Structure formats: structure tokens, C-alpha cells
Amino acid sequence: MSHPKLANIFLKNEDRVNWHDKALWFVREKRDVAVNKVKGWEELREVAASIKSNVLSNLDNYLLQFEENAIRNGIKVHWAMNATEHNEIVLKILQENGAKHIVKSKSMLTEECGLNPYLEKSGIEVIDTDLGERIVQLANEPPSHIVLPAIHKRKEEIDALFVEKWGIKGGNGNAEYLTREARKHLREKFLIADAAITGVNFAIAENGGFVVCTNEGNADMGTHLANIHIACMGIEKIIPEMEHLGVFLRLLARSATGQPITAYSSHFFKPRPGTQLHVVIVDNGRSQLLGRPEFRKSLHCIRCGACLNTCPVFRKTGGYSYESVIPGPIGSILGPGTDMEKYNSLPFASTLCGSCTDVCPVKIDIHSQLYKWRQIISPKKGTSIKKLAARVTGNILGNPKLFRLSATIGTVLLRYLPGSLMKNLTAWGKGRELPKVPKQRFRDWYIKNRKE
């Protein structure tokens, strides 16, 4: 379904819309407080963006450098051209080691690749260990937000879900109680896990290490207990040097949740003695995106979610209205790059207000890219009425005589059509009155008062 259709479903429950909007605005406000405490925030964004620009222009060499250093450190490096290959690589590692129970910390890449259902088909149990992700996993739903996966769920719903799935006593939606119950449940899973899968926030070319950030400690509970750690990363996660982490870790959590840093920023360089550490490097369309100069910068993204929190469209229509793995403004520019037909309504799910661009810690020109996607999508949508209308309008607006004629017609129509008819005729009229039509246009007034 298109964004407007799904948005209209979400909008039917205004209480929920207001609640969702407020919850995310709260996060945006926390972000504001946090970033205003940083001296040189705008310059820090600039530095981050320039590092990312360098990375994209030298990505092949950084990846090879990373691989060489990682191998030297005892990490096994794998390369996957696409989602299928990524899933096959992960499955093969697990099967070779007879791993049946897997714990996984948050990774948008594995969502993108559809890893969980793929592994489950082969009889492997995958437990998402981030609380929000565990909640949506239990509910058999995808995450609705890249940082706050269960932001669309109310605490009473989560309570009912835990009661149903775990047979615990209900806690009237008490967040602390529910979190403790989840902790008990996840402890058991951590202790029996054969392998842990994580994402990668940053991979360091100069020393072959990588960093995983969490607040819950779930990535560490998984990786330091299990004997196999598989870390999955998109090719764009590379940074050149260790010192650049200083820049990105200062930006990431502040932009994401308003914290100055996540509770845990774990740096992995070598496998724990006697265990395996694998890194799977995934392309899945990214190198193609690299070849499109107007959209290349979207590969700067560090998945902080700030553009989701700030976007009024996202706040008021929810993550599921986008139907893409990554929802919100950043998803609306990434989606069409992977499947333009499927995601062709997303670049239009925006007023181009530009808040996403101003909030982005790595300076992606999100709203400009939305505009550019529109220029590609609209002309391709076939010979729709809209296209014809635009061509006609284009001609009229380029011709003053035609323009005046049509403007007069429009004015007359507006003036004489009954309001009730107009109300039903146009989408505008459903919640709004049309402007009152004045007796005289500005142009006529001007000629009468300044020219005569």
C-alpha cells in the first residue's frame, strides 16, 4: 500500500497519533538539550560529514585494509554481494558449528536481509535481545523505528504480550516490572546461546576492529558468553582511523536518544581465546548507490534515528506507514534506491520542511534528496492524469495569456461552485475551507491603481 493509504489508517485513532507524536517529540527535545551542551556541534557534524565523504571516495581501499588487519587479529572476514549471500554465509557458519540457539542484538542490516526468517526455516532459534526488538519479535511484527523498535506499542499491550507468551503475571503495564521479567527471560537465552549475532556501528580500517553500541548490554551479554560471534556490517560502516570514533561516538547517542554516549561502546579486535569471531561485509545495493552522485550522501547514515524523531510525518503516521525496513525520512531516500516501484510514494510523504537535514549528525541533505527522487519518480509514473495536468499547467504557467485565462476560470469556478460540492470534490475540502475568492485579483488592482 502507498504511504497515504497506510497513514490514513494510522490517523484514524487520534489519541494514538497524539501519543506517538509526543513520545517521539520527547526524544527530539532530549536530543536538543544534549547537542546544545556540545561546544562546536555544527563543526562536529561538518567533521563527521567530511570523514564520511573521504570514506566513500576510498571505500575499496579501506575495506581491503580493514580485512587485512582483521584477519591478522584472528577475525574471519566474509563478503556478501547481496542479502541472500549474507544469509547463506551466516547459516553456513552456524551449521558448521552445530549452533542451534542464537542471540542477536540490534542490526538493521539483518532486518534488511531478512535473516531471522531465513535461519528459522533451517530450524535455528534466533532470539532478538534488545528489549524493543524482543517485544516486536514476540508480536511477530517488524520494528517500527530503527532505534526504538517498539515505540508504537503501549505499555498495556506489552504487558498483555508478555503474559500471553511467557505466562507471567500481569504488571499493569509497569515498565520496570516488565523489563525485569524480560531480563529473566533473556538471561536464560544468553546462557544457552551457541552463537551471538551483532550489527556493527563502526568498523576501523587502520586496525581491523569494530564497535557495537548498546544501552542494555545485550550485545555484550551475547558475544562474551557464546563461543561464536558473527558481526554483520554494510560496506559503508567503515571509518579510516580509531581516532575518528571520537567524532562519531560524540554524535551518535546524542542524536539518537539525547544521551551523551550509550551505556556500552564495545570495541572488538580479536576473538576471545578459544572462540570464533566472524565479520560479514555486505553490499546489497550499496555500491550501486555509491554510483549515483545525487544520492550518494545517503551512505553517510549512522542509523541514529534523529530524522525519524524530528519528522512530523513520521511522528504522526508511525513507522509502519512506510512499509520499508528503514522508515522515516532516511528510509524514504534509501527505499526508492532499492525498489523504486514499491517505494514510489515515500519521497512524497514529506512537506520538504527540511528538519531532517538540519538534525542529521552526518549532514545528509535528506529533504533535497526527497525532491530529487520526486523528479525521477513522477515522470515515470506513466501517462497519468497528474502528468498530463502538470504538462498543461507547465505550458499555462509559461504563457501569461493562457495563465490569465485559466486563473480567471479557476477564480470563477471557486466563486460559483457551491461549497458543499467543493467539499466533496477535493481532498483539500475534507478538513479545510477553500480560500474566499476576492472580487479583484492583485494584477487587476495594480493596473487600475498604479498604471492608469
Partner 1 sequence: MSKNEIIASIRRNKPSLIELELPDYQQFREDIDTVSLFKQQVNEAGGSVIECNRGDIEKILSDNYQNVSEVYSLIDEFNPLDNRSADDEPSEYKNLDLVVLNGKFGVAENGAIWVPDSNLSQRIIPFITRNLVLVVLQMSLVANMHDAYTEIGKFSEGFGVFIAGPSKTADIEQSLVIGAQGPLSLTVFLV
Partner 2 sequence: MKVGLFIPCYIDQFYPKVGIDTLQLLERLDLEVVYPTNQTCCGQPIANAGFENNSVKTVLHFAEQFKEYDYVVSPSGSCVYHVKNHYDIVPDSEAIEKVRGNTYEICDFLVNILKITDVGAIFRHKVGLLQSCHGLRGLRLGKSSEQVVDDYSVCADLLRKVIGIELLNLSRGDECCGFGGTFSITEAPLSVKMGIDRINDHLKSGVEVITATDMSCLMHMEGIIRRRKLPIRIEHIASILNSTTS
CA 400 to CA 404: how far, in whole Å? 6
Three cell numbers written together for 255: 542524536
- Report the residue number, 36 or 140, with the smaller CB distance to partner 2: 36
Task: In angstroms, give the least distance from the CB of 303 to partner 1.
Answer: 16
The DSSP element (H or E) to which 282 belongs, if any, is strand 276-282
List the interface residues with partner 1, window 104-123 (CB under 8 A): none
Q: How far is the CB of 8 from partner 1 (least distance, A)?
A: 25
CA 34-258-215 angle, 5° bins? 135
Rounded to whole angstroms, what are the CA distances from 336 to 117, 159, 222, 258, 295?
Answer: 24, 37, 34, 30, 11
354 binds, among partner 2, partner 1, none (CB under 5 to 8 A by kind): partner 2
105 or 344, CB closer to partner 2?
Answer: 344
**Contact of residue 310 among partner 2, partner 1, none (CB under 5-8 Å per partner type):** partner 2
184 forms part of the interface with partner 1 (CB under 8 A): no
Beta carbon nearer to partner 2, 2 or 207: 2
- Partner that binds at residue 92, options partner 2, partner 1, none, CB closer than 5 to 8 Å by kind: none
Report in angstroms how near the CB of residue 452 gets to partner 1 at its nearest. 58
How far, in Å, are 102, 138, 342 from residue 123 at the CA level?
11, 17, 31
Cα angle value 232/189/277 (rounded, 5°): 30
Binding to partner 1 (CB under 8 A) within 193-252 occurs at: 207, 209, 215-218, 220-221, 223-225, 235, 240, 242-247, 249-250
CB of 435 to partner 2, least distance (A): 4
With respect to partner 1, which residue has the nearer C-beta, 110 or 223?
223
Supply φ then ψ for residue 90, to 5 degrees.
Answer: -65, -45
Element (H, E) at 268: strand 264-268
* Burial class of residue 141 in the structure, from the number of CB atoms within 10 Å of its CB (0-12 exposed, 13-18 middle, 19+ buried): middle
With CB under 5 to 8 Å by kind, the binding choice for 352 among partner 1, partner 2, none is partner 2
Q: Which does 53 bind (CB under 5 to 8 A by kind): partner 2, partner 1, none?
A: partner 1
Write the binding mask 2 to 41 for partner 1: x where contact by CB under 8 A, - elsewhere: ---------------------x--xx----------xxx-
Output 92 or 391, the one with its CB closest to partner 1: 92
Q: Select the binding partner of residue 81 from partner 1, partner 2, none (C-beta < 5 to 8 A, by kind).
A: partner 1
Cα separation of 167 and 256, whole Å?
33
> Residue 81 gets which letter from DSSP?
S
Residue 401 CB neighbours (<10 A): 8
Q: With residue 231 as reference, give the H or E element that holds it.
A: strand 228-234
Q: Which does 342 bind (CB under 5 to 8 A by kind): partner 2, partner 1, none?
A: none
Instruction: Identify residues 286-305 at the interface with partner 1 (CB under 8 A).
Output: 287-288, 290-291, 293, 296
